[in-house]
A and B are shown apart, each in its own frame.
Chain A
Amino acid sequence: MSQAPFKNFSSLLVPLLMDDVDTDQIIPARFLIATGKEGYGENLFRDLRFNPQGEAGPEFPLNNPLYETPRAHAHGISLKGDQAESAVAVLPPSRKASADPQSRIHPRADARGFPAEADKNARILLAHRDFGSGSSREHAVWALSEYGFKAVIAITFGDIFKNNCYKNGLLPVSLPEVAVDQMHKDAAGSPQEEAHLDLERQTVSWKGKDYRFEIDPFVKACLRDGVDEIGYILKFEPEIAAFEQRQSQE
């Protein structure tokens, strides 16, 4: 029942330079129609990616094939046919993506001692302020995870969203505004440069800089070891029973 332990990884940064991306925008309510945890990835950021006529906005980062994950592709989450081509066409030639996902592996991966086996599905979303505010829907996290995001960098997060992230092995990374702004600037200039996320060291390494982030030590331990919180709470069954006993006597 434990979730998979969080592994350090390298990935492109997918820049989403918008404030207040609430959970309604991450996954609009009309897609909260399933009774399972799957199938939300294809509607991730649905109304930011597509206009009401269903056309993809080429300026939206997830419509850039550079950022497409193999899993997203396999699930049909990616753009299809001419939509993908038109999205590529608006990018300056230097920013056109290689179609081969292998070419995106961090070139210095081995030299820096990063895990040799990169998760090609892993992505880091580079957001901005107040990401994930609003509705408590965990579907927002399921959608991000299914698409391939394993971490979100932002200045601030919605409280409930952040909690939901931890419980699904998605790492919310809070960094100061100046750092996030710098990363956005850098990401625009070098979209193919991978960042490395190290949970143990609490750093995002990107373009020669280490950005250190704070994380609650308990949350960190749970993520790193894939701790099942229900199992953890049930270790204290005697305390729970004693509390219930006291409460019933009052």
Chain B
Amino acid sequence: MTNLGFSHLDFIGHWKLGFGIFIAMSKTLYDKIWDAHVVREAPKDPAKAGLTGQAPNEPAIIYIDLHLIHEVTSPQAFAGLKTRGMRVRRPDLTFATMDHAVPSRGRFERVWKDGNAQKQVNTLEENCRAEGITLYGLESDKQGIVHVIGPELGLTQPGMTIVCGDSHTSSHGAFGALAFGIGTSEVEQVFATQCLLQKKTKTMAITITGELPRGVYAKDIILSIIRRIGVGGGVGYTLEYRGNTIEKLSMEERLTVCNMSIEAGARAGMIAPDQTTVDYLLSKISFPTEESKRATIATWLSFRGDSDAAFDREVKMDASEIEPMVTWGINPGMSVKVSEHIPDDTANPEVKKALDYMGMQPGQRVIGQRIDYVFIGSCTNARIEDLRVAAQFLKGGKIAAGRIVYVVPGSQSVKKQAEAEGLKEIFENAGCEWRDPGCSMCIAMNGDVVPPGKYCASTSNRNFIGRQGQGARTLLMSPAMAAVAAIEGKVTDVRKYIQ
């Protein structure tokens, strides 16, 4: 404090500085989680730099509480570790499952069509066995999409740092955790050290208030946010979703919102833990004593931002203005409200490229757009509440002739629950295919592919060129919108079905 040069500041400068110090004492949720995980501060004194002979603006070292791994982005990290002659430092904080490459049908056939997928699965099994890592493999009743099972098993908790070699790790932020996707080199770093080199991100508050209109779901909220801030709008930020609309969401809905933070460019998105979070977790976790339970709840709830904490950017949205959303283009920011027309600005090369790829007419209405495939699944929308909503619209109905509809539960547990509730029958009677848990048609590397040129109404998170298969055309929407698209064979306003 002594060398800040107060005497050189005028009154306004004083005020600003004072305000700055005041702000620094109030913390956002992000700050609190960060502070609780710093193993080594970024050194301010060049003499303490870890790289000898320089002061290179070193990052902090932060500790990772939970490392989730899967079969596609981990094998090279295990191999690297082995080359170093090292072991996984904290196998007890590492959990594995198989989701990306595993087929959603016929997975137990000894010889899969795809020998490469089998090799990935076998490699993960061998690596987990060698390192003592808990694996929810194909035979496990806990297997599922990595971001579905983390919360489901009670692994994901408030205040944690959570990483996984998958960009949709942001999902876990729904519990008030700092969760983000990492590359395979960083997977290896976490294996070796349980730490990562990190610089603090900027923070963005996205405040949504008001009542959600009927027919509008969590998916529509996040698609509206991405449309608003753009697919690059969140780059360099951690997002915090808040406001009474967000507070009213269930944990599963919050997961849908946080899941797509990365589609706005933000590695992490989070929601402050509250009673909804606590109630969800108490249904998953048991405690040895009442006292330990109370203490844990208190710790969880301590991870809430201070009410006067400042964000680097704030965005406000009115829930009552959100409508069911549909993407028409080739990134998740290219969306419209279902009642709107798609852009006609063909002078914009990005619009032109999107329209060409999607085979759509400039300025056409999105309602009525033909749909050939429907995919209800993925880490965005394959939890039990999603399937209940889809079933509500498919009950007693039939999918349109010639359409193919995949319903792929997010986990074995979701599958079992859905079957117990009779949802499987509803889907199958309507003509849908009821499949085994995994990423399926969201990533199209497991045999589930949308053919070239076909239109897919998808509850997943990416409508990138070729994401669901080479030449496949993806329209992202909520499970409710996907269900009515299945029935009508075209994009339909779900609100027509909820009079």
Contacts and interface: CB of A to CB of B under 8 A. Distances in A.
Given A29-B443, A130-B231, A217 B56 contact: yes
A35 B50 contact: no
A134 interface: yes
Contacts of A221: 51, 54, 56
A47 interface: yes
A167 B185 contact: yes
A177 interface: no
Interface stretch (A19-27, A91-99, A108-116): A19-27
Interface string B75-86: 110010001100
A221 B262 CA distance: 28
Given A1-B84, A221-B51, A236-B39, A159 B236 contact: yes
A159 B166 contact: no
B56 A220 contact: yes
A29 B63 contact: no
B466 A36 contact: no
A135 interface: yes
Contacts of A247: 63
Interface residues of B, number: 68
B183 A167 contact: yes
A245 to B, nearest CB: 11
Contacts of A178: none
Contacts, number: 172
A33 B265 CA distance: 26
Nearest to B266: A159
A233 B193 contact: yes
A157 B267 CA distance: 12
A216 B57 contact: yes
Interface string A214-250: 0011101110010101101111100110011001000
A33 B189 contact: no
B79 A232 contact: no
Contacts of A130: 231-232, 235, 265
A30 B235 CA distance: 27
B101 interface: yes
Given A160-B167, A230-B189, A243-B63, A52 B465 contact: no
B136 interface: no
B86 to A, nearest CB: 8
Interface in A151-172: 156-160, 163-164, 167-168
A18 B352 CA distance: 12
A194 interface: no
A20 B72 contact: no
Given A29-B443, A47-B466, A240-B195, A35 B75 contact: yes
B195 A233 contact: yes
A168 B185 CA distance: 8
A17 B435 CA distance: 40
A32 B231 CA distance: 24
Output the residue of B59, B186, B235, B466 with the most chain A CB within 10 A: B466
Interface string B324-344: 000000110000000000000
Interface stretch (A59-67, A71-79, A82-90, A136-144): A136-144
Given A25-B464, A129-B232, A130-B232, A34 B443 contact: no
Nearest to A216: B57
A218 B56 contact: yes
A227 B467 contact: no
Contacts of A167: 183, 185-186
Interface string B433-477: 000000000011100000010000000001011110011000000
Contacts of A35: 75-76, 79, 119-120, 123
Given A30-B445, A130-B265, A218-B57, A156 B84 contact: no
Nearest to A235: B50
Contacts of A138: 73, 76, 165, 183-185
Contacts of A18: 353
B183 A239 contact: no
B61 A134 contact: no
Contact of A233 (B180, B197, B265): B197
Interface in A37-77: 37, 47, 52
A191 interface: no
Contact of A47 (B165, B443, B470): B470
Nearest to B329: A20
B465 A133 contact: no
Interface in A1-30: 1, 18-20, 22, 24-25, 28-30
B126 to A, nearest CB: 10
Contacts of B119: 35
Contact of B183 (A33, A136, A156, A235): A136
B220 interface: no
B188 interface: yes
B39 A227 contact: no
B392 to A, nearest CB: 31
A81 B31 CA distance: 58
A166 to B, nearest CB: 9
Contact of B466 (A24, A163, A222): A24
A232 B350 CA distance: 42
Given A47-B466, A130-B231, A32 B182 contact: no
Contacts of B83: 1
B192 A34 contact: no
Nearest to A47: B466
A2 to B, nearest CB: 11
B473 to A, nearest CB: 13
Contact of A239 (B40, B73, B84, B470): B40
Interface of B: 39-40, 50-51, 54-59, 61, 63, 72-73, 75-76, 79, 83-84, 100-101, 114, 116-117, 119-120, 123, 165-167, 180-186, 188-189, 192-195, 197, 199, 231-232, 235-236, 262, 265-267, 330-331, 350, 353, 443-445, 452, 462, 464-467, 470-471
17 contacts: A1-B84, A29-B467, A33-B445, A47-B466, A134-B262, A138-B185, A156-B235, A159-B267, A160-B182, A163-B186, A167-B186, A168-B185, A230-B188, A232-B197, A236-B40, A243-B63, A247-B63
Across chains A and B, which 10 residue pairs bring their CB atoms closest together, nearest first?
Answer: A33-B116, A164-B183, A167-B185, A35-B75, A138-B183, A136-B181, A29-B445, A138-B184, A136-B167, A218-B56
Given A136-B73, A159-B235, A220-B56, 14 more contacts: A35-B119, A130-B231, A135-B462, A136-B167, A137-B183, A138-B184, A157-B235, A160-B180, A160-B262, A167-B186, A221-B51, A230-B189, A232-B197, A244-B194
